[in-house]
Structure 1
């Protein structure tokens, strides 16, 4: 059950991050509308490739260091929680927006959808910051009781997510994969209908990202509070 919960949580998280209207989805959408489904998917894979690059870098470097520095890890996961809340705020601001209204000159290039999206993602400071903060929280082995963290005691223990598990990571990239293949297809099939869903997608993403932000902040508090209490006790002693 925990493996399934982690897999589903990863899919939901990946979708929540990939779905809100913004520059990356503008590139995907314009490629899809102008040049078809395969062009839109290639643009989406460019963004996903950047995530894979950052994932490997976080896996081989950041996690090993942070395992030896719990105070730094707790602080970074806390920053990740705040970043999730910031993403949620950004998604909430897009309620009423469009998948095609982001201003980007890169979408005018007919021949390099994959390279455009990859370059845009690699140069995106928010994406780098995500993998140095939230990404570390995803890769660090542990367990998050989602309902307990949300202070819903009667449901505590019913939805436990294993961070650092292959299921969570596979689910996360699976969620991104679902979006970068399904979104172009939906746009090509029924552009006007998908555009009408943009506000609902933004609102749902805002709620999901805010929830993940609260969970990450609770995890950071669980790491930082004992360290602070121990440091305070040492000074008093």
Structure 2
């Protein structure tokens, strides 16, 4: 295995470390997937991925570090992000009621995929106002962009080249892998287990609501 392959795989692992953990972004992807199908879930994932591309450019120029150094920016991001999450949580719950409620004229498979889907915009806007996503770019993202090499003992002398094009390509490849595979898995399971999709839809709304309240609480804490 060459150093280039190892660097690419390290980039994939970094991409998954950002995209895979549970949180508001995956709640939106899950909501869109179970209500409107794989394509809508993918579009929501592309919204979050587009925001990461913006953060990548901003991190190259050091702009992302402003969040760490200027508390008022943190307060605004937490407040705006919290309000948006509560708004989208309400929308997610309303969509879930329309798709799976007892009065809805549906076969239990959710809303039609061609029905108005705002997953891309929701995920993109939330990602841009998500301080935790920005903090990732201030920590792991710094290691991704900083030119250099390191040789973990487990790799037997092979090195990982940070700041190289191959690790950046691997990073976005890892995100792409998640935003295609995660919606596909949700849709597949939902088709086989009728009760799965409603649970995911309502759980997504709950995650967004809890995240919104958490963000507003942190905004108040920064203000204090």
What residue is the counterpart of 1:117 in the other structure? 123
Name the SS for the 2:61 alignment partner: helix
Shift of 1:18: 1.3
What do residues 46-104 of structure 1 show as CA deviations (whole Å, max 9, x unaligned)?
A: 111110000011113469x9xxxxxxxxxxxxxxxxxxxxxxxxxxxxxxxxxxxxx93
1:128 pairs, out of 126, 131, 134, with 134
Alpha-carbon distance in 2 for matches of 1:186, 1:111: 20
2:145 pairs, out of 130, 139, 145, with 139
Name the SS for the 1:104 alignment partner: helix
What do residues 17-42 of structure 1 show as CA deviations (whole Å, max 9, x unaligned)?
A: 21122221111011001001110001
Paired residues of 1:14 and 1:172 also in contact (CA < 8 A): yes
Paired residues of 2:40 and 2:117 also in contact (CA < 8 A): no
Alpha-carbon distance in 1 for matches of 2:29, 2:148: 35
Paired residues of 1:162 and 1:168 also in contact (CA < 8 A): yes
Runs of 4+ aligned structure 1 residues displaced above 6 Å come to none
1:104 pairs, out of 89, 92, 98, with 89
Give the RMSD, CA atoms, in angstroms: 2.8
What residue is the counterpart of 1:5 in the other structure? 6
Alpha-carbon distance in 2 for matches of 1:142, 1:106: 45
What residue is the counterpart of 2:186 in the other structure? 187
Alpha-carbon distance in 2 for matches of 1:39, 1:171: 24
Paired residues of 2:18 and 2:136 also in contact (CA < 8 A): no
Paired residues of 1:13 and 1:175 also in contact (CA < 8 A): yes
Alpha-carbon distance in 1 for matches of 2:63, 2:152: 25
Name the SS for the 1:135 alignment partner: helix
Alpha-carbon distance in 2 for matches of 1:21, 1:133: 19
Alpha-carbon distance in 1 for matches of 2:179, 2:62: 28
Number of aligned positions between the proteins: 151
Alpha-carbon distance in 2 for matches of 1:62, 1:117: 21
